[in-house]
Amino acid sequence: MLKIFQDFLKSLWPEFYRHRTNVHLNSFYTFTNYRYLWFISISVLAATALAPICIATLIYYQLIETSVDSDLNHRTKQLTVAAKSAVTFFMEERLNALTFTVNENGYEQLTDNTRLAEILKNLKLGFGGVTDLSVLDADGNQVAYAGPFNLEGKNYKNQSWFEQSLKQINYISEVFTGYRDVPHIIITVRSVKPDGSSFILRATLDTERLMQTLSSYKTGDYADIFLVNHEGKLQTPSIHYGAIFTPTNLIFPAGSDESEVIEIFLNGKSIISGHSSISRDLTSTPFTLMVLKEKAGMLKFWQDMSFKFNWIMGASVVVILIVITFASTFMVNKLYRADKAKAETMMQMEQSQQLASIGQLAAGVAHEINNPLAVINQTAGYMKDLFSFKDQERDDDEIVEYIDSILDAVDRCGTITRQLLGFVRQFDVKIKKVNLQKLISQVLSFHKKEAEYRRIHVTVSIPDSFPELETDSSKFQQVLVNLINNAFQAVEEGNCLDIIASQLSPNTIELVIHDTGCGIPEENLKKIHEPFFSTKKNGSGTGLGLSITYGLVKKLGGRISVQSTEGVGTSFTIHLPVKINEGRNA
Amino acid sequence: MQHTDILIIDDEIKFADMLAKRIELRGRSNAVCYDGKSALEWVKSHAHGITLILLDLRLPDLYGTEVLVGIKEINPAIPVIILTGHGTEKDRLECERLGAYRFIHKPPKIDELMSIFEHIRERSEC
C-alpha cells in the first residue's frame, strides 16, 4: 500500500524537468523539450477548463446586474406608488372631512367659536394632525377660531395662500412657518354665505403626522422618503438633502400623475430615485413625493452573495489548476519515461547493429585469413617433411623459397588484420574528413574473395573532382558496410554491383548503390526500413540493418531512397551534405 | 593409364602445391587442379584411376558442390573429401547429402589425410 502511494507520488514529480542526457542518446528522443511540452499541456488544459467557467461567471454577473437593476427599479417604483397613495389619502381624507364640515354646518354654526372648537375636537379625534380651525370672510378677516394659538382677529388678505383659497373650491398649501414659526400646511375649503358672499374654512395641519406617514414606508437604512415643492424646496426632512426648506435641484414639472424612476448620482453614490406629484382629482398639491434608495445598500445582499460566489470560484480554479498540473506532470512523465526507454533501446539497437556489422566484417576477415594460414600450415609442414623424409641441408634454395612463401603468407594475414583494425578503429572517430574512394575500397576489400568466387562484377565510379566529405565517419562507414553487405546478400552469381558517386550541388552528393540482384517485392518495399523486418529465414538477420541505416543517414543530414524491381535489381540512393551541420545532428 | 592416388582440387595454388609435395614425399602419386572445370575434365579422363579426391568448396568458376555432383556423375565410387576453409554446418549436411566421404576444415592434418587414404585403399583392395 505504501509502495503504491510512493509510486503515485513519484509519478507526480516532474522527473523530466531536469532532463539531461548525453548527446548521443538525445538524438533518439522523439521529444526534446519536455518542459515546453509540459507548459503547453498545462496551458491548453487550463484554457479549455477555465474558459467556460470564466465566460459563465461573466454572463452570470451580467445577468445578476441586469436583474438586480430591474428589481431595484421595480421595487422603488412600487414604494413610490404606495407612499404617494398614502400621502394623497392623507390629504384627501382631511380635505374631505373639511368639505363635509362646511356642508354640514353652514356659515352660522361655523362662526360660533364653541361649535368650531367642538368640530376641531371631533376632527382631531377622527383624523388627527389638525392643529386648529378658523373661518375667514372674503376680505381675509378671521371671523372665528378654534385652536391652541390666539390668532383671532388676524387678517390674511395679503397672504398668498388666501388669494389661492379664494380662487379655488379647495386648496392645499406648501409647508410654511407663517406667524407661528412652526412648519405646517394649510388646507382650505371655500363656501358661500347665506348673503351670497364667499367664506373660507381653514385648517392647519401638523407636518409631524405627515412625516410619520412617510416614515412608515421607509424600509431599511438606505431608503429616503420626503416631499419637495415644485421649486425643489424640501417640504419634509431628507437624509440626503438635509433639513426642511433646504433648496434642492429636485425640480419636476407639476401635473404629471405618473410615477417615474431614474438613476442619479449623489455625493458619489449611485441612487435609484422615484418621484411622483401628489395630485388629487379636483386640485393639485404643491408636493412631489421623492423616494431615494441607495443602490449600494440595496445591492448589499447581492454583493455578499457575489463575494461567496467568488470565493467558491477562486477555490475551484485553484483546484482545477492543481489537478491539471498533476495530470500534465503525470502524462508528460509517462511520455518521458516511454521515450527514455525507447531512446535507450534504440541506442542499444544501434550499438548491437554496429556489433553485428563488425561481426559480419570479422567473418569476412576470417575467410580471408584462412587461406594464407592453410598455406603457412602446409609449407611449414612440408619443410618439416623435408627434414624428416629427405634430411635436407639447411641452406638449400628450396628451403629459402618455402620460408619466403611462409613470410609472404604471414604478410597477407598481417595486411588483412591491419585493414580490419584500421577499419574498426574508425568507428570511434567522430566528424572528420572522409575520402569516399578509400572508404569504399576498404569496405569492398572484405568482400574481395566473395566477389571473386561468386563472380560478382563490382564497379566503383567516383569522379576525380569528387570532394572530400566532412561528416561523421563512423556513421557513414556503417551506412556503407550495411548497404554493401546487403547488396552482396541480394546478388546471385554473375550479377553486378555498381557504386556510383556524383556531386549534385556544391554541398550535396549522391551515392547510388545498385545491384542486379533478386530485388525487393513491392509489398516489402514499404517495410524494409521498419525495425525487425527481415525476410531472412531462420533468424539469420536481425531485421535492424536497413532500419538503422535509415536512421544513420538521417543523422548525417541526408536522405535515403530505394527503387527496386523484383528480379531486376535494387538501387539505394543516398543524398548527403558535403559538410555536415553539426548543430543539427549532434 | 597411370593410377593417381590423390587428386587435389583447390584454387589456392601454393596450398595445393605444398599439399601435393607432402603427399608425394609419403610415396603417393597425386595431381592438382586449380579450378572446377579443369578438375572435372581431369576426372573424366581418369575416371577409374583415382583413389581419393580432395575438393575445396570455393572455386573461382564453379561451386564445390557442383564439382562434387559432376564427379559423382562420372564415377560415384570415387570417395571425395571436402576440404574447406569456412564451410558451415549447412554446407556439411549438403555435401554429405551429395555423397561426400568426409568434411574436413582447413588446414588439414597430413597424417589424418594419409590414414584416411590408407583406409580407403585397403578397403578397395579387399
Per mean pLDDT, which range of A127-136, A276-285, A461-470, B18-27 is the poorest? A276-285
Q: What is the dihedral of CA A354, A356, A358, A359, to 10 degrees?
A: 170
Cα nearest neighbour of A404 on chain B: B14
A382, A449, A455: residue with CB nearest B21: A382
B22, B60, B85: residue with CB nearest A378: B22
User: What pLDDT shows up at residue A395?
Assistant: 59
Q: Is the pLDDT of residue A252 over 90?
A: no
Rounded distance between C-alpha atoms, residue A415 and residue A421, angstroms:
10
Share of chain A above pLDDT 70, in %: 87
pLDDT tens digit string along B85-126? 777 788 889 999 999 999 998 888 888 999 999 999 888 776
Regarding predicted confidence, which is higher, A63 or A522? A63
User: What pLDDT shows up at residue B39?
Assistant: 94
A76 closest CA partner among A237, A235, A264, A252: A264
User: What pLDDT shows up at residue A539?
Assistant: 45
Instruction: Give the closest-approach CA distance of A579 to chain B in angstroms.
Output: 41
Rounded distance between C-alpha atoms, residue A177 and residue A179, angstroms:
7
Give the relative orientation of helices A397-425 and B13-25 as an angle to the nearest 10 degrees: 140
pLDDT tens digit string along B45-73? 998 889 999 999 888 888 899 999 999 99
Cα nearest neighbour of B58 on chain A: A453
* Reported confidence tier of residue A535, pLDDT bands at 50, 70, 90: low
| Cell output for A36 | 515546453
Residues in chain B closer than 8 A to A455 (CB atoms): 60-61
User: What pLDDT shows up at residue A428?
Assistant: 52
Q: Is the pLDDT of residue A212 over 60?
A: yes
A453 closest CA partner among A368, A378, A375: A368
User: What pLDDT shows up at residue A405?
Assistant: 79
Q: Is the pLDDT of residue A154 over 60?
A: yes
Q: Is residue A290 within 8 Å of A250, Cβ to Cβ? A: yes
* Reported confidence tier of residue A346, pLDDT bands at 50, 70, 90: confident
Residues of B with CB under 8 A from a CB of A: 12, 14-15, 18-19, 21-22, 25-26, 58-61, 85-86, 106-107, 110
The mean per-residue pLDDT over the stretch A5-34 comes to 75
A83 closest CA partner among A196, A273, A226, A204: A226
Cα nearest neighbour of A377 on chain B: B107
Rounded distance between C-alpha atoms, residue A396 and residue A402, angstroms:
10
Q: Is the pLDDT of residue A537 over 60?
A: no
Instruction: Give the closest-approach CA distance of A521 to chain B in angstroms.
Output: 27
Q: Is the pLDDT of residue A556 over 50?
A: yes
- Strand pairing class (B50-56; B80-84): parallel
Residues in chain B closer than 8 A to A449 (CB atoms): 58
B15, B60, B110: residue with CB nearest A374: B15
pTM recorded for the entire structure? 0.49
Return the residue matching grid coordinates 611449414. A380
Distance, CA of A579 to chain centre: 45
User: What pLDDT shows up at residue A324?
Assistant: 93
User: What pLDDT shows up at residue A283?
Assistant: 62
The mean per-residue pLDDT over the stretch A191-205 comes to 88
* Reported confidence tier of residue A61, pLDDT bands at 50, 70, 90: confident
- Cross-chain residue pair A375–B14, CB shorter than 8 Å: yes
Q: Per DSSP, what are the bridge partners of residue A201?
A: A135, A189
| Cell output for A115 | 361649535
| Test mutation, A368, A370, A376, A378, chain B, max B CBs within 10 A | A378
The mean per-residue pLDDT over the stretch A349-355 comes to 73
Q: Mean pLDDT, chain A, as a whole number?
A: 82
Q: Give chain A's end-to-end CA distance (angstroms, integer).
A: 44
User: What pLDDT shows up at residue A585?
Assistant: 41
| Cell output for A103 | 356642508
Q: Is the pLDDT of residue B1 over 90?
A: no
User: What pLDDT shows up at residue A586?
Assistant: 38
Rounded distance between C-alpha atoms, residue B74 and residue B46, angstroms:
10
Regarding predicted confidence, which is higher, A533 or A167? A167
The mean per-residue pLDDT over the stretch A288-296 comes to 85
pLDDT tens digit string along A353-403? 767 766 766 766 776 777 788 888 888 888 878 777 776 565 567 777 777
Q: Is the pLDDT of residue A584 over 60?
A: no
CA torsion through residues A122, A127, A130, A133, sign: negative
User: What pLDDT shows up at residue A263?
Assistant: 84
CA angle at residue A364 from A359 to A365, to 5 degrees? 95
Q: Is residue A228 within 8 Å of A235, Cβ to Cβ? A: yes
Rounded distance between C-alpha atoms, residue A180 and residue A148, angstroms:
11
Instruction: Give the closest-approach CA distance of A416 to chain B in angstroms.
Output: 16
